[in-house]
Structure 1
């Protein structure tokens, strides 16, 4: 039953189902463990009618990790139709703080993979899926602090609206408030940050296939779509992630060829910023913003502009890894200090307790922001032999995240006393 938007919201003992969880299963896949035997075991339990709800949710994730997204989502929806609360136990012998994560029924990349951030802590994670037709329960499971982990995608709109309606009367501290997650939309983020001194963020503009077709055929000009738009431009299908459909278009002919290869009706376009370094390489950075403070997550170096960590092949270059290690080691008094004012103002305007920023430096030395996201993976799965500088940095981020939770939980307890 959906909870009415009125106080009070009660708390009750948690009726959860245990699960292996996102972090453990993803780590197994990342390390090359064959997940087929576990999948087959869970399928057999479901066929025999002996599977528990948490096992069904784990099967959904395993199926997605094995490449069958549609089937995995179908399993997830079937499970969530009769059970919405799940526990990922802490690694500690005795659990400490209890965190309630508010999630949406979406694919495995659509909610913050928060259990990675809790690695090594005594935090017990409860995940409550807020889904259409069910909404929030009349009484919430007992918890010390809550955080919204649903993304800013269209599929999460209803879940975010339900949480937002209840947010003013939430009985415990609520982090990453749902009304602020909408700030991360590609087209909204530009309007929020466009006048921050020392920060460069190209306008991300929604364009229909019809508009782009007219542009490709010279029936309209770039400025007819948006004043600052010009060739070369970046295009991507609206709602796409991880570089799917991303392309640099140098002229109208390239745009026509791009449209011929795509079936989507809606796109995001933006002016292309050539952020190449003097040595001819591109450097892209990922920052984690935790409680208003930036932390270095990774640095990708490649000879291509459309760079992310996997296609930079950092594991195969000792020279690149050495530069990334220096970036992490010196971050606070180098990159972080150079862009301190811009980062602080960005964090203030976005208003989230935790989010991720993918960025670079433009030719003028400004912070070039590509996107901000609350669901990007921040993990400690890379080989400590190949990347010995990463585990200490990841543990630093995880400690900051846990400290943030504890601070808010303490404040909430003091307020309730």
Structure 2
């Protein structure tokens, strides 16, 4: 145990805070509501709450830069905020979060939308930023992602947990297992699982690869054999993701992405099904058990649910409905051992994986993270089958919270 961790002594107290509108609640509002929401937030007599409410509203409409400015102003006042506070709350959840946009921390409010759980946020930049008394809670959830910018904070939180008064979910050191290169290394040599080896390259090394001979480019283990996928380190949602089939295309890609200093490269795997579609499954691994969150069916190898045309295709929705209805005896049964091994090696209580299936019927791993969007906000008249499937996810998450809290749950005043 480090000397630094010995210096941390944490005590808890109730913080009397009004709840702000969560991202989940705002997602059910329309664009026409924005003006009224901003007006109402501006009238909040608590400056910290006012700015944080504006952060959430502006984030919901895609005004990220302005939203982050509002967040910085809020955090200048305090670092503790209440997101949900149901009258019948029986469990207190504290999210240990970091400054950033909506992709930087686990969106927990979607997981507990109708649960009897109070959610507080504790923003951590450095231990010196913590309040003298941390919010009273039954269990803490480490909400930061594995991005490079969070590594220092995750290291500090790992030390803090050595003197933390309550149980926690997702150890900071294991969150780093979700980094693309680390995850691909951890998950090699699992029966029934195909994980393309991902390497992280500086721009100079990528340029050398683009100008190397074929034998040199393949590398000792063939990890660089074309075709490859390439993306900037730190990019999300397919930003900058491309397939390069040879050294010339790699050189063109590098020329088109001059401002990027590091890249992830992986062998391209054609996982197209016999009908010509690509299928990407989003799976939540909660306490080691798999739960389906969605099945996206697209025409391009870069599949994103929002752009896969699911809402417009009754045929695709029917397939997703069947996949959700029969998940336990279908996909989960086919890949039971591989999914269990992934959960064991990532060593996280809660983690989201995106995956597919290879033409030779293995589970194809794409990525893992702890901040993936898991929700039940799709229109019920179009996606009526999603609510039962997502309720299984939410119930499992609630069970995880209560198992972790155990008999140490604190009474409400």
Paired with 2:281 and 2:183, the residues of 1 have a C-alpha distance of: 18
**Residue 179 of structure 2 corresponds to which residue in structure 1?**
185
Tell me if the contact between 2:22 and 2:84 (Cα under 8 Å) persists in the aligned partners: no
Q: Once the 2 structures are TM-superposed, how far is the Cα of residue 96 of structure 1 from its aligned partner?
A: 1.0
Q: Which residue does 1:59 correspond to in 2? A: 54
Matched, 1:118 2:112: yes
Deviation of residue 195 (structure 1)? 1.4
SS at match of 1:298: strand
TM alignment of 1:270-349, pairs within 5 A: 270-349=266-345
**361, 383, 388: which is aligned to 1:392?**
388
CA shift for structure 1 position 62: 1.9
Separation (CA, whole Å) in 1 of partners of 2:109 and 2:286:
15
Q: Secondary structure at the match of 2:230?
A: strand
CA drift of 1:403 comes to: 1.3
Q: Which residue of 1 aligns with 2:372?
A: 376
Name which of 389, 400, 406 aligns with 2:402.
406
Question: Match of 2:119, SS?
Answer: strand
Cα deviation code 1:109-130 (max 9, x no counterpart)? 1100001000111100011000
The residue aligned with 2:256 is 261
Matched, 1:169 2:163: yes
1:21 has 2:18 as partner: no
Q: RMSD of aligned C-alpha atoms? A: 2.1
CA distance in 2, matches of 1:386, 1:35: 25
1:37 counterpart residue number: 36
Q: Is the 8 A contact 1:17 1:85 kept in 2?
A: no
SS of 1:164 mapped into structure 2: helix
Q: Which residue of 2 aligns with 1:109?
A: 103
Structure 1 residues 67 and 8: CA distance shift in structure 2, 3 A = closer
Deviation at 1:138, TM superposition (A): 4.1
Residue pairs, 1:127-166, within 5 angstroms: 127-132=121-126, 134-166=128-160
Change (3 A) 1:161 1:386: same
Taking the aligned partners of 1:11 and 1:247, their CA distance within structure 2 comes to 48
> How far does residue 226 in structure 1 lie from its aligned partner after superposition?
6.3
Number of aligned residue pairs: give it: 405
Counterpart secondary structure, 1:87: strand
Runs of at least 4 residues of structure 1 off by over 6 A? none
Deviations 1:173-202 (A, max 9, x none): 111111110100001001111111111111
Comparing 116-125 with 51-60, which one deviates more in the overlay? Answer: 51-60
Question: Structure 1 CA distance, aligned partners of 2:78 and 2:18?
Answer: 8
Partner of 1:5: 5
Secondary structure, aligned partner of 2:296? strand
Q: Secondary structure at the match of 1:86?
A: strand
Distance 1:193-1:172 versus aligned 2 partners, 3 A rule = same
Gaps of 5+ in 1: none
1:139 is displaced (CA, Å) by 3.1
Name the residue aligned to 2:348: 352
5+ residue gaps in structure 2?
none
Alignment check: 8 A CA contact 1:17 1:52 kept: no
Mapped pair 1:202 → 2:203: no
Structure 1 partner of 2:217: 222
Cα displacement string for residues 49-75 of structure 1 (whole angstroms, at most 9, x for unaligned residues): x44312211201222333332221122
1:94: how far off? 2.2
1:136–1:162: 8 Å Cα contact kept in structure 2?
no
Question: Which position in structure 1 is the counterpart of 2:89?
Answer: 95
CA shift for structure 1 position 37: 3.4
Residues 106 and 156, structure 1, Cα contact 8 Å, conserved in 2: no
Residue 225 (structure 1) shift: 8.5
CA distance in 2, matches of 1:348, 1:307: 27
**Whole-angstrom distance in 2 between the partners of 1:377 and 1:295:** 14
CA offset at residue 322 of structure 1?
A: 0.6
Partner of 1:234: 229
What's the TM-score, normalizing by structure 1? 0.92
CA offset at residue 357 of structure 1? Answer: 0.5
Task: Give the match's secondary structure for 1:230.
Answer: coil
